[in-house]
Amino acid sequence: MTNAAMIPRTAKNSSDQGQGAVRQTGETGPISAATLSLLAVSIIALLGGVLAFYASVYSLHQDLAGSALSARLAKSLGSAFEEYSLYFPPVEHAWFGVAVSLSDLTGLRLDLCVMAMTNLAVLFSSWLAYHIRRTATGTSPVFLLVSLALLTVLPVLFKNVFGLREHMVVLGLWPYLVLRLSDPDETKIDRKTRFFVSVWLGVSLLFKYIYALVVLLVEVVDALVQRRLLVLFRIENLISASVVALYLFLWLGVDPAQREAMGAIVSAIDGNLADFETNVAQAVMNVALSVVFLIVGLVFKVPVRISAMGIALVVAAVLASWVQGRWYSHHLFPITMAYFAWIWMLRGHLRPLWQWAFLLLAFGPVVGEFRNTAIYQRSTSELYVTMANAGLSVEGKRVGLLTMHPSPFNEFLATHGAVRWNTSMNNAYVAAELKNFDRPENQDVTPPAVLLEDPGRQLLHDNMLRLWEDQPPEILILDHSHSWPLRYVKVRWQEAFAKDARFQSFLDRYEPVFEHKGELLEFTYLVRKQ
């Protein structure tokens, strides 16, 4: 994730060759005071700029806000949270729980606390990668700054995935990849550093453990290329794998209820899952660029180890999306980052012209995703202005929310000090119920009321209603702005739950005080009847 000027082209002796025979020369002594000062100023400016950007210009991703709000609800309910919450992965509970505590302690907005913690994670990942690279090859501090910039700027531009689970996984994979490329024969980096890499990799993979596929495939490919099968049992692999395995055992292996919860979540997102044909088409499209990388590698005699590890990164990231059955922006982000990592691995073996050409190709998806972000930021701005003009405040209040993605209400509640009184971030199970009805010929037809005959979907709905019945929210918001992933029919909550006597009885306790139907948003704001 840097350019050719950062590291001398020593193709015969470079540790990137995978031979590990000769160490590159470079400054490995203490960094000068002037350089340290410049580094500090640059780091503070970059990370401070991110906080300022999200404080005044951008809103955080709806999924990130949703997880933070779930942690806020967990703290509000205390031990009773488990009575209503079906699914909240422990690592997210812990991570966002720290953000909630930090917000309460400092008075800083919850969303900004999440951004600040993500900034620290980016800084640690970049520093760890730089420490490895400097020790192994004597690289300059520019490597640290470039790592920081790319691990910060790219996820912001790429549909605003900064801080999401996939971004956290990438932060763990980056030092691991730098270690694997910089010290293939395990002679330059000490065990203490490898231990830190192992733990950081394992913890980051907990956010989305399916990306352990990346490590697995890279390690298998590396072992085959080097013809050293014992490298599969490196300390990094053993410790990181143990962290993930222990986590999954304690979370899903010990408690049958959590396995039931996982099944319910899968049934709830069924409307979002891609079919086999879509998976094949997406996989082919996302792997296609790697063919160009491989051909160029052959032409310019790039070491086999680098090409093999590059294709392993891309294929593993694609497989992870395939397994999840979804190809949304945050699922595509690791694939794009895999290509950037491949470019970094190639930088000492290609002329600058080819490096820039590859960078332009890799930036294509980033530009496209950035353009797609605009409509979400516009909808968030519309919501902020509408609520302010109407004089409606949610600060410190319990807010029950019926919504489907891509709603801006999660962001709004997180930035305005509300407690989202829902056990999940959206009602995706309604889309799963109406998936078969979502056809072009029905686009002007009112969809039928959902019956929720699927046990998992029924359980999610029941948890929400039980929480509302036991501890009623002060405000209820019915967001009719979106019905995604449904494409043809429009979901209106009163009609969707028309056959649900419990919901209708609950709704009778509230009265609408404000309705909005604007360019991008349509919602009703209700309060409890006196």
Average pLDDT, the chain: 88
Cβ(430)–Cβ(404) under 8 Å?
A: yes
298-319 pLDDT per residue, tens: 999 999 999 999 999 999 999 9
Average pLDDT over residues 414-430: 89
Predicted pLDDT at 18: 41
Query: How many whole angstroms separate alpha carbon 310 and alpha carbon 298?
Result: 13
Predicted pLDDT at 227: 87
Token output for 408:
């801006």
Residue 448, pLDDT > 80, answer: yes
Query: How many whole angstroms separate alpha carbon 330 and alpha carbon 320?
Result: 12
Query: What dihedral angle (degrees, nearest 10) is formed by the CA atoms of 225, 133, 240, 117?
Result: -140
Residue 28: pLDDT band with limits 50, 70, 90: low
Return the bridge partners of 517, or none.
522
Query: How many whole angstroms separate alpha carbon 194 and alpha carbon 465?
Result: 48
Residue 352: pLDDT band with limits 50, 70, 90: confident
Buried b (16+ CB within 10 A) or exposed e, 130-164: bbbbbbbbbbbbebbbbbbbbbbebbbbbbbbbbb
Predicted pLDDT at 16: 45
- Select from 131, 139, 132, 169 the least CA-distant residue to 151: 169
Half-sphere exposure of 273 (CA within 13 A, CB side): 15
Predicted pLDDT at 29: 64
Residue 2, pLDDT > 60, answer: no
Cβ(409)–Cβ(422) under 8 Å?
A: no
Burial class of residue 495, CB neighbours in 10 A (0-12, 13-18, 19+): middle
DSSP string of 31-87, one letter each residue:
PPHHHHHHHHHHHHHHHHHHHHHHHHT----HHHHHHHHHHHHHHHHGGGHHHH-S-
Of these ranges, 25-34, 119-128, 417-426, the one predicted with the greatest mean pLDDT is: 119-128
31-69 pLDDT per residue, tens: 777 778 888 888 888 888 889 999 888 998 999 999 999
Predicted pLDDT at 110: 94
Phi-psi label, residue 225: left if phi above 0, alpha if psi -120 to 50, beta otherwise: alpha
Predicted pLDDT at 468: 95
DSSP string of 490-529, one letter each residue:
---HHHHTTT-HHHHHHHTTEEEEEEEE-SS-EEEEEEE-
Predicted pLDDT at 21: 34
DSSP string of 246-306, one letter each residue:
HHHIIIIIS-HHHHHHHHHHHHHTGGG---HHHHHHHHHHHHHHHHHHHHHHHHTT--HHH
What percent of the chain clears pLDDT 90, i.e. is strictly above it? 62
Q: How far is CA 223 from the centre of its chain?
A: 29
- Select from 333, 311, 331, 335 the least CA-distant residue to 323: 331
Predicted pLDDT at 68: 95
151-194 pLDDT per residue, tens: 999 999 999 999 999 999 999 999 999 999 998 888 899 999 99
Cβ(114)–Cβ(99) under 8 Å?
A: yes
Token output for 142:
């520019």
Residue 426: pLDDT band with limits 50, 70, 90: confident
